[in-house]
Structure 1
Amino acid sequence: MSLRRDPLGPLDREAVRQGADVPTRVHVPGDGDGISGELFHHEVHRFADGSRVPGWREGHDPGKDAAEVPDPAQVAVPEDLRAEIEDYMSRYPDPRSAAIPALAAAQRLHGWCSPDAIEQVACVMRLTPGYLTAVAGFYDMLETRPVGRKTVYVCTNISCSLRGGDELLAALKGQLADDPDVNIRGFECLGACDIAPMCSVDGVYVGPVDDAEIPVLAEQIAAGADPLPLKQLVRRRVADTAANSDGVEVEAIEAGTIGPVLHTDGPATGGNDIPGAAR
């Protein structure tokens, strides 16, 4: 005989299946030395519409017209945007899977996922604007309000936070607060813990960013210049030789400013005896 107790007995499982309106068994102290079991019926309050949660159906209006897909004859879509969206759609078995890259493409063109941008994507993908608005509102990298065209994400997850990510975010916000063209905010994780603290400047990963480099980085962001070229992730060597970038400044490597970087067409540049070793 097993001494293992099923955490959900038959009656409890039925309660879970049917809801809280069915009897459930609880143990209460008895008059004797043992424990006696009693059944009780737990009444659940219901509102006028029969639901247990007020207002959950307020968004449902049977009198409203059904959502419609925009008419291609009435929506002007830039040809480059249309071609890019159709290319994304061709890569997935279900074309709806292209919603995120399609919205990102529209955001690059319009600066944010504006109603016009969403309508253009909906027209090409043959979806309702409401569906795409829900997608845009869920994913953090899609903007549903006007923002600056220069996007700066500062990682504030644990690795970066422990190494000064929060201070980096506060410092950059302070120096770029008056620039309406810069959209700077914290980001939960950018997946580059090895270069903490780091940030993404229009998709370019930069780090680790030292305190002394913050004013320089802020000036480069404001001017639209290449951010801290010697601290960019693409200039760091990795074990996969095919994944490394060409064109790294040999002088900087020899001076020790950055580590040696492997090139796809030859051995490592710099003083490392193990080609392909990660650094």
Structure 2
Amino acid sequence: MSKSSDKFNQGRLRSSNITVVISIALVLFLLGLFGLIVINAQSYAAYIKEQLKLEAFFNDEYDPREQDTELARQQTFIDSLKIKHVFVKSTEYISKDKASEIAKQELGIDDNAIFEANIFPASVQITLNPDYVNPKQVDSIKQIISANPIVNEVVNDDELMTTVYNNIDRITFWLMVLAAIFLVIVMVLINNSIRLRIYAKRFSIKTMQLVGARRRFIIQPFLVQSAVLGFFGALIAVLALGGLWYYFSSMVLLPFWNDDYYLLIGAIFIVGIVIALISTGISTWRYLRLRTDQLY
């Protein structure tokens, strides 16, 4: 009779542990899915910001006999941009010939006879680091670049940049708010799963206390078990998330890996294990403080 009872209890324990692991895995999977959305939204926002380029036009008033000297000065200036200024991500030199070709394409002119060559000055297109793309900083950057004597004018689409920046900033803010709310929901769900598991063992906890076991001795095994359950729940969530993202990224031709995914994976494991430990500690301590008649 005792053997069958032990097998029954062991079966219930395994079933309870599996249920807790699956519950943790599900909520962490949803958390990771939302994290993927946030990370890729930020990456896309950075890509959009990189398209808002500055263009610095060089002075076009110099002696043609000094053309080589002037080109050397322009190249020196372009090379110095990334060295001197952290806000510059990349540069592209637009020669006078290339500027004419771009203008012909934009105007739809194919006949060279009616289009005077070299009427546009040479310039450099500057791609800014996304962190510096906001209206106030861009105005300061334009002043810094314009201060060089070989630069005639620095232009960009101020209205478009302001609109895009405000929209991206608003979307990012609400994504962060939703992420915080979702994290709270995940914490509550994991806490409830762990509390139900500890509730099922409340009589065992009280029995150990009544026979003289110290509180630390009683709590420690539950903490270890909960950490293991949290780890396996997080591992299942990460594997499922990786499989889903691999399938989705291959379907829509997106890059599979992003360096920020290291942080996401770490956050999933930390949330799963830490919340499981905290919930276990609080729940176990609560039952240790109750009287025997209060357990029913």
TM-score of the aligned structures, taking structure 2 as reference length = 0.20
TM-score of the aligned structures, taking structure 1 as reference length = 0.21
| Bigger helix share | 2
Q: Which has the larger radius of gyration?
A: 2
